Structure 1
Amino acid sequence: MTTKLITYSNSQPKSKLWMAAIKPPMYSVAIIPIWVGTAVAVAQTKNLNAGVFSTFLTAAICIVAWSNISNDVFDSETGIDKNKAHSLVNLTGNKRLIFWIGNLFLILGLLGILAIAWWQRDLTIIGIILACCAIGYAYQGPPFRLGYHGLGEILCFVAYGPLAVSAAYYSQTQSWSTTNLAASIIVGTVTSLILFCSHFHQIKDDLAAGKRSPIVRLGTALSANLLPWICGSIYTLTSLLTVLNIFPTWTLLSWLSLPFAIKLCRHVLQYHDQPEKVSNCKFIAVGLHFVCGLLLGLGFML
């Protein structure tokens, strides 16, 4: 990840705008919950169902693709993306096409989950993932648009933390675990941090569209000063759970992601009120999310 200035405009090459619209780095939010939940399951059962893991991972990526694509569609209806050159709707000029491409990804993802349920003769995982999808829709979809009321980070925490991580664990064990629930809190917190950081550079557009994101409600300065506390809570909780023997000692490897957290906090504290310079902070947060989650899961595996 880098703090190099990242901006997008209609004057830039289409290939760059398309890559920004597709958001490849953001798919770590699909990978990490499945990885961590599976890692906890393997640590506790000493067994890995590779077929279930690969199917779940593919399904999760498809569902996150649906979420990202449909959010572009729903945002185009409120006008919040009118200045967003790398919106899929703005790039294609065809909202209906983008809407149905998103639905296709959703169907593919749910088919993967249905396959797992069929193999295990257990419908529980379908219920969990449908709950995740419902949260994903309620975040931006009409008539709810809960993200516009400042609830996005809470919804993100629940969907990508306790629900997704628990679903991954259940897909391997068909049971529940308090250790896995504790791990899901860490994953959910880091995932919500990405969404939180994504609001700093678009505060004017959010205000114009009536979106009351946490950054709008708190202001950029106070929000920036909250970041060190949020990041600190991730490492404090991991250490506490290790001391209490809930997590294995190897999960302290996640501390190796601390440089990403420090870089994120410093960058946002310095540029919180300069949209063009702070706009890439969400990608630093993605780097933190990926490395922290990868090492946390590896700690359980080891």
Structure 2
Amino acid sequence: MESLKTPRPRFRAVMNIKTWLISFSPTTLTSAFSSVTLGTALAWYLDNRFNPIIYIITLTALLLAQAGVNLVHDYYDYLSGVDKLYRASGFSHRPHPIIDLRLSPRSVITVGYALLLVAFASGIYLFTLIGWLVLVLALVGLVIGVGYSIPPLKFHYRGYGEILAAIAMGPLVTWGSYIVQTGIYTNPAPLVVGIPNGLFTLLILIGSGALEIDACRAVGKITLVLLVGIRNTKYVVYITIALMYLAIIASAILHYLPYTSLITLLLIPRTIRLAGPLLSGDENVVRSRWKELRNLWAGPFSVRLIILIILIITMIIARIYPPLSV
């Protein structure tokens, strides 16, 4: 009988680890992964610089930072009541660590801050290797991440949190990842090439904001969807998608990316289709198609990752066969 009882603590420990991993919202971590990997790939493509150890440190730091921001955000949305109301509506675009996974609020906020602290410590280490701008970028990212939900800043409650998140998780992370590989601060390439990933992050946040619109109204949380109105959200979505792919076109024209990267333009119809419920301008349509809207960020192969794969493959091919890069 003893031999049957001994695995139980180990099983509980494994389940607890799994619960915490789910609480990090792993489907959202593709944002950090894409930007860090893209910035690193640009350093190799444009400047023939690649340090795998620096890449691993940078990627780990950004994944931990985003996971920490997710936990802190969920904690404060739980306190405000918006997540309770949202779950009561019957929608669920990802498991909530407190409501769904039954983690204690105190443990969620503690682990969230701990992850952010470790990520910032990694930024300090990279600062000692590269220079002061890395520390500045780490501080800016920390302010945006922590201020996204935490009083008194509460960017996500004031109508511009999604914009700041898009800037941070797109151009800034791509730029920072390029800098730590090359030590070059003045090249605008990673800022331009990082725009599509940031705008895809914006699309995801608009989608989740549309699903939470009633709950946000009830607690006075002003998301971008509420700020512009559900009827006008479709225009924001169209502009966002247009700018995503225009940034890739501009990157190719400026020789930041090879011309073969324009293959990504074939993904425009798929991107528009994924954002379809948001283009209706009707709250009832968004509610009825909420599972479809989840595919914007929860699909097995998101458009974001497909774009990343195409860009990296075209950069590799262009380095092997240089005529394709011009």
Q: How does the TM-score come out when normalised to structure 1?
A: 0.85
Q: Count matched residues.
A: 288
Is residue 292 from structure 1 mapped to residue 310 from structure 2 by the alignment?
A: no
Aligned partner of 1:194 in structure 2 is 204
Q: For structure 1, which segment, 131-140 or 209-218, has the greater mean C-alpha deviation from structure 2 after superposition?
A: 209-218
Q: How far apart, in 2, do the equivalents of 1:157 and 1:80 lie?
A: 22
CA contact (8 A) 1:89 1:95 kept: yes
Q: Tell me the CA shift for residue 242 of structure 1.
A: 1.9
**Unpaired segments of 5 or more residues in structure 1?**
1-13
Aligned partner of 2:140 in structure 1 is 131
Q: How far apart, in 2, do the equivalents of 1:200 and 1:193 lie?
A: 11
Aligned partner of 2:242 in structure 1 is 232
Aligned partner of 2:167 in structure 1 is 158
Q: How far apart, in 2, do the equivalents of 1:20 and 1:170 lie?
A: 31
CA contact (8 A) 2:277 2:285 kept: no
Q: Tell me the CA shift for residue 52 of structure 1.
A: 0.3
Q: How far apart, in 2, do the equivalents of 1:15 and 1:113 lie?
A: 26
Match of 1:220 among 221, 230, 233: 230
Q: How far apart, in 1, do the equivalents of 2:136 and 2:177 lie?
A: 13
Match of 1:32 among 34, 44, 47: 34
The secondary structure found in structure 2 opposite 1:88 is coil
Larger radius of gyration: 2
Q: Tell me the CA shift for residue 115 of structure 1.
A: 3.2
Aligned partner of 2:80 in structure 1 is 78
Q: Which runs of structure 2 are paired with 1:240-259 in the superposition (5 Å)?
A: 240-259=250-269
Q: How far apart, in 2, do the equivalents of 1:95 and 1:299 lie?
A: 45
CA contact (8 A) 1:256 1:292 kept: no
Q: For structure 1, which segment, 60-69 or 249-258, has the greater mean C-alpha deviation from structure 2 after superposition?
A: 249-258
Q: Tell me the CA shift for residue 217 of structure 1.
A: 2.5
Q: Tell me the CA shift for residue 209 of structure 1.
A: 1.1
The secondary structure found in structure 2 opposite 1:273 is helix
CA contact (8 A) 1:49 1:172 kept: yes
Match of 1:169 among 172, 178, 182: 178
CA contact (8 A) 1:251 1:299 kept: yes
What CA deviation, in whole Å up to 9, does each residue of 1:41-64 have, x standing for no partner?
A: 111121210000011111111000
Q: Tell me the CA shift for residue 244 of structure 1.
A: 4.2
Structure 1: which amino acid aligns with 2:98? V
Q: For structure 1, which segment, 221-230 or 126-135, has the greater mean C-alpha deviation from structure 2 after superposition?
A: 221-230
Aligned partner of 1:207 in structure 2 is 217
Q: Tell me the CA shift for residue 262 of structure 1.
A: 2.7
CA contact (8 A) 2:195 2:247 kept: no
Structure 1: which amino acid aligns with 2:315? F
Q: Tell me the CA shift for residue 201 of structure 1.
A: 1.1
Q: How far apart, in 2, do the equivalents of 1:190 and 1:21 lie?
A: 22
Q: Tell me the CA shift for residue 24 of structure 1.
A: 1.6
CA contact (8 A) 1:215 1:223 kept: yes
Structure 2: which amino acid aligns with 1:82? K
Q: Tell me the CA shift for residue 257 of structure 1.
A: 3.1
Q: For structure 1, which segment, 22-31 or 221-230, has the greater mean C-alpha deviation from structure 2 after superposition?
A: 221-230
Structure 2: which amino acid aligns with 1:278? W
Q: For structure 1, which segment, 33-42 or 254-263, has the greater mean C-alpha deviation from structure 2 after superposition?
A: 254-263
What CA deviation, in whole Å up to 9, does each residue of 1:134-160 have, x standing for no partner?
A: 111111111111111110122112211
Aligned partner of 2:91 in structure 1 is none
- Among the aligned pairs, what percent are the same residue? 23
CA contact (8 A) 2:35 2:170 kept: yes
The secondary structure found in structure 2 opposite 1:89 is coil
Q: Tell me the CA shift for residue 38 of structure 1.
A: 0.9
Q: For structure 1, which segment, 28-37 or 212-221, has the greater mean C-alpha deviation from structure 2 after superposition?
A: 212-221
**Unpaired segments of 5 or more residues in structure 2?**
1-15, 88-94, 318-326
Q: Tell me the CA shift for residue 210 of structure 1.
A: 0.5
Q: Which is bigger in relative contact order (C-alpha 8 A, separation at least 6)?
A: 1
Pair 233,253 (structure 1): closer, same or farther in 2 beyond 3 Å: same
Q: How does the TM-score come out when normalised to structure 2?
A: 0.79
Give the alignment's Cα RMSD to 1 decimal: 2.7
What CA deviation, in whole Å up to 9, does each residue of 1:2-43 have, x standing for no partner?
A: xxxxxxxxxxxx999988644221110110110111111111
Q: How far apart, in 2, do the equivalents of 1:239 and 1:45 lie?
A: 21
Q: Tell me the CA shift for residue 95 of structure 1.
A: 1.2
Structure 2: which amino acid aligns with 1:141? I
The secondary structure found in structure 1 opposite 2:45 is helix
